[in-house]
Structure 1
Amino acid sequence: RLSSRLNSTWGGNFTDMVRSTHFLRIIEKEHLVENAGKVGAYFLDQLRDLQKEEALISAARGRGLFLAFDLPDAKTREAFWKGFFDLGVLTLRSGENSIRFRPPLDITAEVIDEAMESMRQFCRKRK
């Protein structure tokens, strides 16, 4: 056995410890955790509204800025993912039929509104 087998990739790396301490200070100073909660709740409300407008979207869910919704199948999910991408909305594919969102911690309601309008535009266009 090698004693290093249980160590993490970054464990004990002084440079990364200093860097991450700086990141944590920025997160605290700029109230990014609070922003994630507040703006994330707004984003989730907007996704739930979109779910009411678009029959193919279901199970809008999330916590903070980790958000997702489901589509009926992988083919539909791919069409939505590509359609959103073509309109400048970056999303992630998740599982077989989900779209997920991981926006930056400093995202604003205005940016969410722009993304939602693009997603609504795609939904209207595909009908």
Structure 2
Amino acid sequence: MKFTRNANAQWKGSGKEGKGHLTTGSKTLDAAPYTFVTRFEDANKGTNPEELIGAAHAGCYAMQLSFLLGEEGFTPNSLDVDAEVSFEDGSITKVMLNLKGDVPKIDAEQFQQIATKAKEVCPVSKLLDTKIELKVALSS
């Protein structure tokens, strides 16, 4: 399988006083605002690159894990993944994936193994040049 996806960023003004908009090819994000404030101070007023990386990583990881579980004969009821993207001194220093899974008939050890493999082979995990940690919880 081969494909290309597109996104656009527009920025006007200086780094601190300027503002921008992000648009995805699908228009799921359509001129979503971002500024210095939304990136470095108050993310509740718009989006920022780190938040979008977190969403991309969590979504990619959850789908990858679902595929790997399916290869082992398991179908998850739910996979809930939070991605915490840490930024420090001009760099993304870590991504913490917090996984809560509800997967019938799987034991905790097998779930941990498959979850770890998914972290290693997830395309977004492979793209990011930072430490990626994983915390796993399986519902009974």
- Normalised by the shorter chain, which TM-score bucket? 0.3 to 0.5
Calculate the TM-score normalised by the size of structure 1.
Answer: 0.35
More helix by share: 1
Which structure ranks higher in relative contact order (CA pairs < 8 Å, sequence separation ≥ 6)? 1
Calculate the TM-score normalised by the size of structure 2.
Answer: 0.32
More strand by share: 2
